[in-house]
Each structure stands twice: as structure tokens, then as C-alpha cells.
């Protein structure tokens, strides 16, 4: 689930999005009595655009659009200490 859009960079056929993704990284290991805990992280994903594809202008609509694509978000290692 996307919490916040941090940045969007578009070229002719690729859009790179940086966003805060909930439950993206493990923040606490599993114990004998508790499961592992996951927290948010700034992640990046690329979207390959078709010619003439219209991208939503506001953040709420862009979040809906991106969540419908079911992208593979990669945590930005530079922003988090695992």
C-alpha cells in the first residue's frame, strides 16, 4: 500500500516513482512468540508507458493508478538501515 508519493520522473516511455510503501521492510525479527514485524520504507518502481498513455495529475489518483498495476517496489537501501 502506498502512503505517500515522494517523486515522479517521466521520460517518453518510462516513469520512475519513489514512494513510501507500507510493510516494505522487516523492522523486527521473529521470536518464539511473535511473528516478524514489517514497517514502511521509501521504495522505487518503474512503469513502462505506452504511447499516449495519460498519467493522473494529482497524488490520490496516481496512488490508485499505481496500486492497480501491482508493481514490484524495491526499497531504497540508501534511505534505510536494515
Q: How many structural domains comprise the chain?
A: 1
Q: Name the phi and psi angles at 66, rounded to 5.
A: -70, -40
* CB of 47 closer than 8 Å to CB of 14: yes
pTM of the model: 0.84
Whether the pLDDT of residue 3 is over 60: the answer is yes
- How far is the C-alpha of 11 from the C-alpha of 30, rounded, in Å? 42
Mean pLDDT of the chain: 91
pLDDT tens digit sequence for 15-50? 999 999 999 999 899 999 999 999 999 999 999 999
Contacts of 82 (CB under 8 A, 6+ apart): 25, 26
Domain encompassing residue 59: 2-79
pLDDT number for residue 80: 54
Amino acid at each position: 500500500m502506498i502512503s505517500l508519493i515522494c517523486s515522479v520522473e517521466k521520460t517518453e516511455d518510462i516513469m520512475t516513482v519513489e514512494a513510501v510503501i507500507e510493510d516494505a521492510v522487516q523492522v523486527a525479527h521473529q521470536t518464539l512468540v511473535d511473528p516478524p514485524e514489517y514497517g514502511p520504507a521509501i521504495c522505487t518502481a518503474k512503469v513502462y508507458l505506452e504511447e499516449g498513455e495519460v498519467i493522473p495529475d494529482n497524488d490520490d489518483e496516481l496512488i490508485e493508478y499505481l496500486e492497480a498495476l501491482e508493481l514490484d517496489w524495491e526499497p531504497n537501501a540508501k534511505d534505510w538501515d536494515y
